[in-house]
Structure 1
């Protein structure tokens, strides 16, 4: 390839980047997700992120200002992804028991398939949620999942299939905690107890167990006693 053709190719690449800023930003966020989840906010480097993307260091700063802002956008993108997928479950169109079961299984499987998300949440907890608190988008997204779960729970109470007196936020905590631990402590738990937790057959059993525990938790007391 001649110098002229090299220059032409480079020019075309730059034009492509300028003409598709959304694609460039999505590429930056995808790489940043991996870097932040593996190395944390302090360990990740803009130079390394730039090397692994189709963007220059200068372009990253143009779109995201600084490393802290890029980290915040990475958090927002991670939460937005899971919340958008939850919305696609169309829980309002399902009977309460089916809706809750679908949400539990989705949460368990999403977390298992997206360990980067779990690590990002763990890292943000190291920072005491300081960056998350700056994002109105994340607060709005998470309020939406509580609203959806509240709707499912209230319908279940009205139909007599859920017991009264539960707080949907606590129910969401329970679902998240069980699904989160499956990923966050997978390696230590597997080594300590010499158990292949990540094996597909074990993951299927754990998904069933988590779903069963949550469903039993919301059942009316007399129903739960009748189904030990």
Structure 2
């Protein structure tokens, strides 16, 4: 894990300027290493990503990686943690007012789909970690922190929907989160093999639009007290003859 950067008490400009510059430089070095490692691990996986590749991409040195992150495994854990942190930060910026829980639910599902689509490194990093049976992330002390906000937000939306008589009360936020993630993640992580298997381009714009609408409708129907009244319309796409 990253070595903490010591912070000194505020003082005169002459006594604090140099430590502050060093601290900023250290944080910048850590950030550069983290961003470079994200790219390397996303492309080559944990096993294939090499320390020398990462230090070269970060324009740093191998010893700085070991100094700040302890080991290759420590750096990989930090990358996974940072990937989840960025996901949570993006989700926290969603405009939800809880006055229309159906629309809020659609917004959350579409956000997850769009985020996965726009951040392919998120999927490839998780694929790599699952190949290793999650042995690295299981050592993270922050992993649970990053799952709680997403499920908590979804829970509030569901609670409001139940209060208004729009959603069924027995649906768990955790189950709905897994359903949304699974429908989005599986499609995107397997789109290349599925395109060959199905004989159609699952990356075509109309195919992506169709699946986004499909999973949104599926999730809304799963929770709705009156599914046909709240589920969005699913656009049709041309099928291969």
SS state at 1:136 partner: coil
In 2, distance between residues paired with 1:224 and 1:85? 29
Q: Deviations over 1:55-77 (max 9, x none)?
A: 11111111111100000000000
Of stretches 170-179 and 36-45 in structure 1, the one that deviates more from structure 2 is: 36-45
Which of 12, 29, 33 is 1:28 aligned to? 33
In 2, distance between residues paired with 1:108 and 1:92? 20
Gaps of 5+ in 2: 1-20, 232-241
In 1, distance between residues paired with 2:110 and 2:230? 21
Partner residue in 1 for 2:220: 215
Alpha-carbon offset, residue 18 of structure 1: 6.9
Gaps of 5+ in 1: 1-15
1:156 aligns with 2:151: no
Partner residue in 2 for 1:141: 146
Of stretches 102-111 and 47-56 in structure 1, the one that deviates more from structure 2 is: 47-56
Q: Quick one: structure 1 residues 225 and 203, their matched pair in 2 at CA, closer, same or farther if it must change by over 3 Å?
A: closer
SS state at 2:142 partner: helix
Q: Deviations over 1:70-117 (max 9, x none)?
A: 000000000001011111114355521111110000000100111111
Q: Deviations over 1:125-147 (max 9, x none)?
A: 12222222222222111012111
Partner residue in 1 for 2:89: 84
| Larger helix proportion of the pair | 1
Runs of 4 or more consecutive aligned structure 1 residues displaced over 4 Å after TM superposition: 16-19, 225-228
What TM-score, normalized by structure 2, do the two folds share? 0.82
Q: Quick one: structure 1 residues 44 and 213, their matched pair in 2 at CA, closer, same or farther if it must change by over 3 Å?
A: same
> Contact 1:17 / 1:24 at 8 angstroms: preserved in 2?
no
SS state at 1:20 partner: helix
More contact order relative to length (CA 8 Å, sep ≥ 6):
1
> Contact 2:224 / 2:230 at 8 angstroms: preserved in 1?
no
Q: Quick one: structure 1 residues 215 and 227, their matched pair in 2 at CA, closer, same or farther if it must change by over 3 Å?
A: closer
Partner residue in 1 for 2:48: 43
1:69 aligns with 2:74: yes
Report how many aligned residue pairs link the two structures. Answer: 211
